[in-house]
A and B are shown apart, each in its own frame.
Chain A
Amino acid sequence: MTSAVASTTRAASSAQSYRQSVGFRSAVVVVVIMAAIAAMICDLAVGSGTLTFREVLDAIFAPGTADPTSVVVVWQMRAPMTVIAAIAGISLALAGSLMQTVLNNPLAEPFTLGISSAAGFGAAIAIVFQTSVLGAASWLPPELFVAANAFFFSLLTVALVTILAGQAGLGVETVTLIGIAIHFVFSALLAFAQYVADPNQLQSLVFWLLGSLLRATWTKVEINGVILAVVLPLLLLQAWSLTALRAFGEQAVVLGVRVERLRLASMVAAALLAGAATATIGIIGFIGLVAPHIARLLVGEDQRFCLPLTAASGALILTLASLASKLILPGAVLPIGMVTSLLGVPFFLGQILYRKRRVRR
Chain B
Amino acid sequence: MTLSVNRLSVRIGRTPIVEDVSFEAQAGQCLAVLGRNGAGKTTLVRGLAGILPASGEIRLEGEDIGSLPAAERNRRIGYVAQGFMQLSAQLTTYDLMLLAIHGGRLGWSIPDDHLDRVEDVLSMLGLKSLADRRPGEMSGGQRQMVALAIALVRKPRLLLLDEPTSALDLANQLHLLETVRAYTRREGIATLIVLHDLNMATRYTDEVLLMASGQLVVAGPTVETLHRERLRQVYGVDCAINDVEGGHIVIYPLAALESASS
A residues at B contact (CB < 8 Å):
7, 10-11, 14-15, 17-18, 104, 106, 236-241, 243-244, 246-258, 296, 300-302, 304
Q: Which of B84-113 contact A (CB under 8 A)?
A: 84-86, 88-92, 94-96, 99-100, 102-108
Please state if B51 and A251 are interface contacts (CB–CB under 8 Å): yes
Please state if B119 and A15 are interface contacts (CB–CB under 8 Å): yes
Are A301 and B106 also in contact (CB < 8 A) when A251-B51, A251-B84, A254-B74 are? no
Interface check B70, CB cutoff 8 A: yes
Q: What is the minimal beta-carbon distance from B98 to any residue of chain A, in angstroms?
A: 8
- C-alpha spacing A357/B117, complex, angstroms: 35
Interface check B1, CB cutoff 8 A: no
Q: Which of B74, B86, B105 contacts A247 (CB 8 A)?
A: B86
Q: What is the minimal beta-carbon distance from B130 to any residue of chain A, in angstroms?
A: 11
In the assembled complex, which residues on chain B have CB atoms less than 8 Å from the CB atom of A237?
106-107
Q: Which of A236, A255, A301 contacts B90 (CB 8 A)?
A: A301
Task: Tell me the total A-B contact number using a CB cutoff of 8 A.
Answer: 106
Q: Give the 3 A-B residue pairs with the shortest CB-CB distance, closest first.
A: A255-B103, A256-B104, A244-B103
Please state if A304 and B106 are interface contacts (CB–CB under 8 Å): no
Q: Which of B70, B84, B85, B132 contacts A256 (CB 8 A)?
A: B70
In the assembled complex, which residues on chain A have CB atoms less than 8 Å from the CB atom of B89?
246-247, 301
Q: Write the chain A residue with the least CB distance to B103.
A: A255
Q: What is the minimal beta-carbon distance from B118 to any residue of chain A, in angstroms?
A: 8
Q: Which of B94, B100, B123, B154 contacts A7 (CB 8 A)?
A: B123
Q: Which of B44-101 contact A (CB under 8 A)?
A: 49-51, 70-72, 74-75, 77, 79, 81, 84-86, 88-92, 94-96, 99-100
Interface check B122, CB cutoff 8 A: yes
In the assembled complex, which residues on chain B have CB atoms less than 8 Å from the CB atom of A258?
70-71, 104
In the assembled complex, which residues on chain B have CB atoms less than 8 Å from the CB atom of A17?
131-132
Q: Which of B194-229 contact A (CB under 8 A)?
A: none
Q: How many residues of B contact A (CB 8 A)?
A: 41
In the assembled complex, which residues on chain B have CB atoms less than 8 Å from the CB atom of A248?
84-86, 103
Q: What is the minimal beta-carbon distance from B93 to any residue of chain A, in angstroms?
A: 10
- C-alpha spacing A247/B100, complex, angstroms: 10
In the assembled complex, which residues on chain B have CB atoms less than 8 Å from the CB atom of A243?
91, 95, 99, 103
Q: What is the minimal beta-carbon distance from A21 to any residue of chain B, in angstroms?
A: 8
Q: Write the chain A residue with the least CB distance to B69.
A: A256
- C-alpha spacing A280/B70, complex, angstroms: 40
- C-alpha spacing A167/B94, complex, angstroms: 38
Please state if A14 and B103 are interface contacts (CB–CB under 8 Å): no
Q: Which of A104, A239, A253 contacts B51 (CB 8 A)?
A: A253
- C-alpha spacing A240/B104, complex, angstroms: 6
Q: Beyond A14-B119, A254-B79: 17 further Cβ-contacts under 8 Å?
A: A7-B123, A10-B128, A17-B132, A243-B95, A246-B86, A248-B84, A248-B85, A252-B104, A254-B49, A254-B77, A255-B100, A257-B104, A258-B104, A300-B92, A301-B90, A302-B95, A304-B108
Are A247 and B104 also in contact (CB < 8 A) when A254-B51, A300-B90 are? no
In the assembled complex, which residues on chain A have CB atoms less than 8 Å from the CB atom of B70?
253, 256, 258
Interface check B255, CB cutoff 8 A: no
Please state if A15 and B106 are interface contacts (CB–CB under 8 Å): no
Interface check B256, CB cutoff 8 A: no
- C-alpha spacing A15/B97, complex, angstroms: 12
Q: What is the minimal beta-carbon distance from A253 to any residue of chain B, in angstroms?
A: 6
Q: What is the minimal beta-carbon distance from A292 to any residue of chain B, in angstroms?
A: 11
Interface check B115, CB cutoff 8 A: yes
Give me 25 A-to-B residue pairs in the complex whose CB atoms sit less than 8 angstroms apart, sorted by A's number: A7-B123, A10-B128, A14-B119, A14-B122, A14-B128, A15-B119, A17-B131, A104-B86, A241-B103, A244-B103, A244-B104, A246-B89, A247-B85, A248-B84, A248-B103, A253-B50, A253-B51, A253-B70, A254-B50, A255-B99, A256-B75, A296-B90, A300-B90, A302-B91, A304-B108
- C-alpha spacing A104/B86, complex, angstroms: 9
Are A300 and B95 also in contact (CB < 8 A) when A254-B49, A255-B100, A255-B103 are? yes
In the assembled complex, which residues on chain A have CB atoms less than 8 Å from the CB atom of B75?
256
In the assembled complex, which residues on chain A have CB atoms less than 8 Å from the CB atom of B128?
10, 14
Q: Write the chain B residue with the least CB distance to A257.
A: B104
